[in-house]
Amino acid sequence: MTKARYIAGPGGKIEGELTVPGDKSISHRALMFGGIAEGDTEITGFLAGEDCLATLRALQSLGVRIERPEPEHVFVHGVGPDGLQPSAAALDMGNAGTAIRLFMGLLAPQRFDSTLIGDESLMRRPMERVAGPLRSMGANIQTRDGKPPVEIRGSTGMRAIDYALPVASAQVKSAILLAGLQAFGRTHVTEPAPSRDHTERMLASFGVEVLREGATVAIEGGQTLRGTDVRVPGDFSSAAFFIVAGCLAAENGLLLHNVGVNPTRTGLLEMLRQMGADIRVHPQPNTDANGEPIADIEVRKSRLRGIKVPESLVPLSIDEFPVFFVAAACAEGETLVRGALELRVKESDRLAAMAQGLTVLGVENQLLADGLWIRGTDRFGGGTIDSHGDHRIAMAFAVASLKARASIEILDVDNVATSFPGFVTLARKAGLQITAS
Ligand code: S3P
């Protein structure tokens, strides 16, 4: 099968008003929590991307009835805490790291066995970071050299754990909390730095008591979730591509509607502001989005200056680095990111993929063990970029075309559909000169 590619023409002007698709992290969780809840859950603004559809299909294979009258409108008929059924086949998580890791926590304490697999990229990603702590709770899980397939033998007698995460990871934290819900006793998870807290916020809206004290989250086993309505805000990580595009080329401003602005996700805003960006956040008051704050974001073309990124902002902007590096490539002076080793184990090695692509465009950069150094320039060249099948690398280089002197060809872009269906249409509407073939 030939893989799709983008051609992004050089230059262009960004403007108008846009609404990006629903949040990926929140959509996964709404499906899973709805599936194990008692009663029904109605999800609006659901992300109809391949990653979340993998979660949806897996839940159906586990016996959960789901209706989807429209792509972004989903009803989940919860089966209750003991209602999941064994799947006849291995559960295929596609490209979705969040799906495989959260399902590990959900399925380890069940009374049946499960096997979790994924696509080529997912089959290379580390799973012991979840399997290890789950084993200390009594789970029986095997990985192959630390990677999928993940073979789970259901263990109904799991015990609570007191676990200090070695790296800030919402996926690991969430997997342990999901197992903790079905374990005996009170599970505590402590983070070295805050990671996204959608699990904690959404569990509370499903009626679960989640205790937070400083860097520790605690949950008592045996609580039952109650179905609820979930309104999914626009994905900040998808808005990020247009926020940077706006900084580069929105003379008259760009307005993004209904974006989730949970503070554990918006580190990019702080980094861009430190670089001199003109970004205004207009919070939407009185919205009930399961404890998730929502805002309209207005951005204008700004003169960006390179910065040294504070390491504390890394977990708060973990998925935004590909497009942040594009902003750095267009800034005056040098930008340095360190403490970002996690970027090497995402859908691709994002440090290496970005360094390679920036080099193709003629942007001076240096790949570091845990980060990237970039010298910005006011105009760079075009060329052919390998996205390594990584959605965010592909979209980041599409944004780079705004400052390129020649076209950028971006290879292997099918996976953009995992997180951002309709990206090309929206990007063209905003002013990018992009076509897919
Ligand atoms: C996610 C957590 C992050 C993030 C991923 C989504 C989540 O991963 O990169 O895209 O939904 O919990 P880590 O937990 O591995 O940092």
pLDDT tens digits for 139-191?
999 999 999 999 999 999 999 999 999 999 999 999 999 999 999 999 999 99
Is residue 269 within 8 A of residue 69, CB to CB? The reply is no
CB count in 10 Å sphere of residue 434:
23
**403 CA to centre of ligand 1 in angstroms:** 30
In this structure, what token pair is assigned to residue 286? 């009185």
Please tell me the predicted confidence (pLDDT) of residue 379. Answer: 84
**328 CA to centre of ligand 1 in angstroms:** 23
The single-letter DSSP state of residue 285 is T
| Local confidence band at 2 (pLDDT 50, 70, 90 cut-offs) | confident
**349 CA to centre of ligand 1 in angstroms:** 15
pTM as predicted: 0.98
Res. 369: pLDDT tops 80: yes
Q: Average pLDDT in the 8-30 region? A: 98
Is 319 marked active-site?
yes
Please tell me the predicted confidence (pLDDT) of residue 288. Answer: 67
Res. 388: pLDDT tops 90: yes
**171 CA to centre of ligand 1 in angstroms:** 5
Task: Please list every protein residue whose CB sits less than 6 Å from any atom of ligand 1.
Answer: 25, 98, 169-171, 174, 195-196, 318-319, 342
Please tell me the predicted confidence (pLDDT) of residue 296. Answer: 98
Res. 137: pLDDT tops 80: yes
Ligand 1 atom at minimum distance from 318 CA: 9
Tell the residue nearest (CA) to atom 15 of ligand 1.
169
Is residue 5 within 8 A of residue 436, CB to CB? The reply is yes
Site to probe by mutation for ligand 1, drawn from 125, 171, 266 as the one with most ligand atoms within 8 Å of Cβ, is 171
Exactly one of 51, 235, 319, 412 is catalytic; name it: 319
Tell the residue nearest (CA) to atom 11 of ligand 1.
25
| pLDDT, tens digit, 9 for 90 and up, residues 269-279 | 999 999 999 99
Query: Over the chain, what HEC string results?
Result: CCCCEEEECCCCCCCEEEECCECHHHHHHHHHHHHHCEEEEEEECCCCCHHHHHHHHHHHHCCCEEEEEECCEEEEEEECCCCCCCCCCCEECCCCHHHHHHHHHHHCCCCCCEEEECCCCHHHCCCHHHHHHHHHCCCEEEEECCEEEEEEECCCCCECCEEECCCCCHHHHHHHHHHHHCCECEEEEECCCCCCCHHHHHHHHCCCCEEEECCEEEEECCCCCECCEEECCECHHHHHHHHHHHHHHCCCCEEEEEEECCCCCCHHHHHHHHCCCEEEEEECCCCCCCCCCEEEEEEECCCCECCECCHHHCHHHHHHHHHHHHHHHCCECEEEECCCHHHHHCCCCHHHHHHHHHHHHCCCEEEECCEEEEECCCCECCEEEECCCCHHHHHHHHHHHHHECCCEEEECCCCHHHHCCCHHHHHHHHCCCEEEC
Question: What's the distance, CA 302 to chain centroid?
Answer: 27
Ligand 1 atom at minimum distance from 171 CA: 14
Nearest to residue 217, comparing CAs of 229, 203, 232?
Answer: 203
Q: At what angle do helices 198-205 and 170-181 cross, to 10 degrees?
A: 30
In this structure, what token pair is assigned to residue 370? 């845990």
Res. 287: pLDDT tops 80: no
